[in-house]
Chain A
Amino acid sequence: MSKTKLHLRLDKWIENANLSEDGGVKTNIYGHKSKDSSLKSYYDLSIPVGQMENYFTITLDPGSYTIECILPSGEIVTKDVKITSGEDKYISIQSSYSPREYLSFQHYYGNVARQQVKKYESDIQPTNINKVLKKEFMIKSRSLENFDTKEFLSVTLGSKTNDVWKNTIDKNMHQSRGLNDEIDETVSMIDDILLDGMIEISGGTYADSNLTGKNIWFTLLQLIGKEGQDELYNLMEASYNAKNKIDDNYSFQWIDPYISTDVNIYELKEKNEPPIRNFLLWTPSGAELFSIPAWWRDSRFYEYVPIEIMVDISSYESDFRSSIAVKDQTLSSAIAYLLAGSLPTAGKFIQKQAQDMLYAKIKNPYSAVLGAYILMETKYDEPNISWKNWVTNLYNWFDWMPDSGILKAWLHIEKKEWDEAKTLLVEATSKGLPLYTFALKKLQEGLKLFDEDEDVKAIIKVVRKISWRSNPQQLFTVIRLGLPPTTMKS
């Protein structure tokens, strides 16, 4: 009996992206078993995602199989196929759609909640939901000059009408992105915007120069302890004044959604040494400070990719949440699996790339940190190649980034080199907020190992208090400020 070839892909539209099998969706193939035959099963494959005609090919014995795709969002889709001897079969497996085309990346990441999917399921009526507003900022980099800046400007979801979420968006902007989302022109954009603004407070040339290193921690400490918000507004005012100094050479963008039709938008421009940029975002429900990895070069061609910040303001929760995504096609799946807690899947998919990411640190130090973290947590070990030395290298090259020191400290902890580890962890707290939430977690866990040291104890107190305001669901560090935090209890 001759073997047969099965070609697989997951059909899911993601804006401007087609995820190759190097970074696709986790797939298992179950050979059907009966009293007459028992076909082999295949696990942990990766198949492409998107709408391009690229397929993953596997050679199988003829027979019946169930293909199972496990998406980072937790969705599992299956399809039964029967292949006959010598057949060359192409299979597209259909997954659920994003509720909106412009939310497609966030939907793949699992950041878009079910409520926004209702439009496609007429049998389910929304309950207890009055309004969902959403605003999306896109930061674009200089290398994407073929795009009009405005096309990345903003998209807002307006009021819910007749159980359908409608957009209030700039029609031209939307069309220029090639999106086909429904546009409801009856909803006023300005009236419905709840998001007040976003501003950079540290990292850039004109941001508050005092807000560096330890000062960020202590400023945050002051802010989260005071609900009167005076300090928050002072910070905003200082940052607002800084924004007025923007000139053509400055790599910073300011977005003011109150001026909806002629928003001032500044391209992020290349800098020699990228700092971690801290942005402050505020809404009537509270404020958040988050870290952004500007610049981010994709892991294959090292071209700059957009960074997307989605702010979800949902009255059914009386709350809001921001989600930051880098549109790196090679890493998207790994990041999404990582966020979902599926570290083994993330690791399996990109262990090789993780090493490359680490080695190519000069191209993108942020992804190098991510690569090092994945290698470390999956306890990756390859004979003759010591990626661990490259973590030291990463730290030597990019010592301004607290994350690199935190990871290096954990390598020392593994080797029970306590003094070196302690020094690096304490030192990391003098370099501002970590970029990644996992680094903040590792910092806190690491410092706790030295809680018998009085000096460290004081630092733990600060780090822990701030980490209470962090959002563990996010890849990049997000700290809730001003209003009460999202404490969760049952």
Chain B
Amino acid sequence: MDKFIVHNANIDGPATHVAIIGVGDYPHLLDGSGEKTDHHDGMSQLTSPPVSARHLADWFITKYHNPDKPLGTVTLLCSESIELKYSNPVSNIDYTIAKATLKNVKTALRAWKKHCDKNEENITFFFYCGHGISQGQDMALLMSDYGEDNDNPFDGAIDFKTFQERMKRNCLATHQIYIVDACRVSTDTLIETFGEVGDTILSGPGTESAISTIFYSTLAGAKAYGKKDKPSSFTTMLLKALNGGGAHDQNNDWRISTTRLKEAIDLFMKRAADDERQKVQTPPTDGLVTYDIHFLKGIPSVEVRVQCNPAEANNRAKLLLKTSDNKEKKQRKELSEQPWDVEVQVGEYIFSATFDDNQFNNQNHKKYVTPPSPLINLNVQ
């Protein structure tokens, strides 16, 4: 069995094949365990990417549902400062995950492509979380051994755009999705200086033409990686969207389509950017074509943001929601200046803010909750 695979359902016929890479340990960047490269450019160690990678692998193995293209394989590579284990949540088999060096990633992605090539109706997912450098149309994804060769630091990087274009034109799978969770923060001339972006993984221009869609994280800097040892902000948004925020019921059942996924991620991204006063910096998708990727087995859960207007009332309001028949109730646990983000199933709810004093007015608001994530503004002035 391929040493990079952590799940293999041995599907005959069309299937979904997933490659996930999470790079947190960079020995040659700041605070790394190896010899520091001159070309670190301020980049240092990350804790979120391997966590993001494992969360996404868990999601695919336990939740991904596509009746026509069931999950075939999941390839997983991560880099952490310690040896990383992964326990398949379905088979309970423990795996030692290979380090995400360029050599390992290259071998793994070529093997992944072979699985993808088995049926032209396959869907492929590629997910990367870690440092990235982009300039114009190009983007370098930095593997764990970036900077090992101080004279050629990009020997430890993937030329993502060329890799994606070659997959598009060399791989038989007609539907390909790429998710790049690499933030972009400062300015420098690394790519220009070295005149290259990294390894293209695949050779030959190819003659096919798959539907190839890229989703980019667009949050800048440390904020993109969220809290220490937690999944990155973008992966958290992605999972929220896959779990229901990106759902539509156009076919009388709930499905996640590529376009609806983008709309949900855009909304979450915009909300996060607004919260952090950041700009959304790059086009979040490239090559988007609408098709369904995941079929929910029930009614989706949707995150609702409940907030008071004016915002200073948030810290004094008891916020709660209930269904019209009172069967379901939820209340915010603690007072906070922040809005209340709460998950509910699609349906009608009454949202309310109540106060112990007379500084603000109590307020109720009835709202039918639909994906991706409604904003409930309770005007309490």
Point out residues on A near B: beta carbons under 8 Å.
28, 30, 32-34, 41, 43, 64, 66, 68, 70, 73-76, 78, 80, 113-115, 121-124, 126-129, 224, 317, 319, 339-345, 377-379, 414, 416, 440-441, 444-445, 448-452, 464-465, 467-473, 484-490
Contact = CB atoms under 8 A, between A and B. Distances in A.
B274 to A, nearest CB: 5
Given A344-B290, A489-B184, A445 B273 contact: no
Contacts of A344: 259, 288-290
A34 B299 CA distance: 12
A118 to B, nearest CB: 8
B66 interface: no
Of listed A73, A224, A488, A489, residue having the most chain B CB within 10 A: A489
Given A342-B259, A345-B259, A489 B370 contact: no
B106 interface: no
A123 B310 CA distance: 7
B165 A445 contact: yes
Q: Which 9 A-B pairs have the closest CB atoms?
A: A488-B184, A123-B311, A490-B183, A341-B285, A74-B266, A489-B133, A468-B136, A74-B270, A449-B205
Of listed A126, A379, A464, residue having the most chain B CB within 10 A: A464
Given A34-B347, A74-B266, 4 more contacts: A66-B370, A487-B187, A489-B132, A490-B185
A445 B278 CA distance: 31
A41 B248 CA distance: 10
Interface in B49-69: none
Contacts of B205: 448-452
Interface in B248-279: 248-250, 259, 262-263, 266-267, 269-270, 273-274, 277-279
Contact of A126 (B43, B273, B277): B277
Of listed A414, A465, A471, residue having the most chain B CB within 10 A: A465
A487 B310 contact: no
B282 A472 contact: yes
A43 B183 contact: no
B270 A487 contact: no
B185 A489 contact: yes
A484 B136 contact: no
Contact of B368 (A32, A449, A464): A32
A115 B187 CA distance: 21
Contacts of B220: 490
A420 to B, nearest CB: 15
A485 B189 contact: yes
28 contacts: A30-B368, A73-B270, A74-B280, A75-B267, A80-B368, A114-B273, A114-B274, A115-B277, A121-B311, A123-B312, A224-B192, A339-B283, A341-B284, A342-B262, A345-B259, A416-B207, A468-B136, A468-B191, A470-B136, A470-B137, A486-B135, A487-B135, A487-B190, A488-B281, A489-B186, A490-B43, A490-B132, A490-B182
Nearest to A470: B136
Contacts of A343: 287-289
A448 B368 contact: no
A30 B188 CA distance: 47
Nearest to A489: B133
A464 B274 CA distance: 34
Interface residues of B, number: 69
B13 to A, nearest CB: 25
Nearest to A413: B209
Given A340-B284, A488-B135, A490-B183, A70 B262 contact: no
Contact of B138 (A80, A121, A379, A468): A468
B330 interface: no
Contacts of B279: 113-115, 317
Given A68-B370, A344-B259, A490 B283 contact: no
Contact of A41 (B165, B250, B267, B348): B250
B136 to A, nearest CB: 4
B259 A30 contact: no
A378 B211 CA distance: 10
B280 to A, nearest CB: 7
A92 to B, nearest CB: 17
B221 interface: yes
A464 B207 CA distance: 22
B43 A127 contact: no
A75 B270 contact: yes
A341 to B, nearest CB: 4
A342 B282 CA distance: 13
Nearest to B291: A344
Contact of A124 (B136, B186, B267, B311): B311
Interface string B176-216: 00000011111111111001000000000101010000000
Contacts of B131: 489-490
A224 B267 CA distance: 36
A488 B209 contact: no
A322 to B, nearest CB: 15
A107 to B, nearest CB: 13
B354 interface: no
B363 interface: no
Contacts of A444: 137
Nearest to A225: B192
Nearest to A286: B187
B204 to A, nearest CB: 9
Nearest to B299: A33
A487 B191 contact: yes
Nearest to A346: B288
Contacts of B132: 489-490
A43 B133 CA distance: 38
Nearest to B313: A123
B134 interface: yes
B273 A467 contact: no
Of listed B269, B289, B312, residue having the most chain A CB within 10 A: B289
B199 to A, nearest CB: 15
B371 to A, nearest CB: 9
Nearest to B324: A34
Interface in B14-60: 41, 43
A4 B162 CA distance: 53
B85 interface: no
B189 A484 contact: yes
B347 to A, nearest CB: 8
Contacts of B185: 488-490
A114 B280 CA distance: 9
Contacts of A472: 136-137, 282-283
A426 to B, nearest CB: 15
Nearest to B311: A123
Interface in B275-328: 277-290, 310-312
A340 B263 CA distance: 10
A55 to B, nearest CB: 22
Contact of B269 (A28, A70, A74): A74
B133 A487 contact: yes
A485 to B, nearest CB: 6
Of listed A78, A126, A129, residue having the most chain B CB within 10 A: A78
A250 B289 CA distance: 44
A375 B178 CA distance: 23
B241 to A, nearest CB: 13
Nearest to A314: B279
